[in-house]
Amino acid sequence: MTLTKIFISSLCFVCLHANAMDVPIKEGMAFVKARKLLIKDGWQPNPTYTGEYGVENIILRAGFIEIESCTMGVQYCGFNYTKDKTCLGVGTVGEEVKDMKIYSWDFERLEREE
């Protein structure tokens, strides 16, 4: 399994598998534009990052509360959104938010709280 697949499969760690939904994003789209389209489409940023340091904290302080994690070296980052009990994990590549591009996404069903 490639690093990218492992990274994307871990994006919605609070979720279980679900069926895919249509989203208004595409591979190669600028992340900032994709984020605006997702929010307009009803997807809510889902805060999952709990650390205090690193690139994630910089992105979090810039107002992107849905950041989960970023890799070292080539900058891959994961962001989480929720809508209708479905979690959407979005993978980006790029060194700075303004340069990030969408490279993948995956859907998972939120766990039921009991």
The string of pLDDT tens digits covering residues 49-87 is: 988 888 999 999 999 999 999 998 889 999 999 999 999
Contact status, residue 55 vs residue 95, Cβ threshold 8 Å: no
pLDDT of residue 18: 41
CA-based nearest residue to 75, from 61, 57, 62, 56: 56
DSSP conformational letter for 91: E
Give the whole-angstrom CA distance, residue 35 versus residue 90.
10
Compare 112 and 22 and report the one with higher pLDDT.
Answer: 22
Total-model pTM = 0.79
Q: What is the pLDDT of residue 110?
A: 73
Q: Is the pLDDT of residue 11 over 80?
A: no
Q: How confident is the model at residue 113 (pLDDT cuts 50, 70, 90)?
A: low
- What is the pLDDT confidence band of residue 12, given thresholds at 50, 70 and 90? very low
Closest by CA to 23, choosing from 100, 89, 98, is 89
Residue 114 β-bridge partners: none
Q: Is residue 97 scored above 70 in pLDDT?
A: yes
Over residues 29-57, the mean pLDDT reads 95
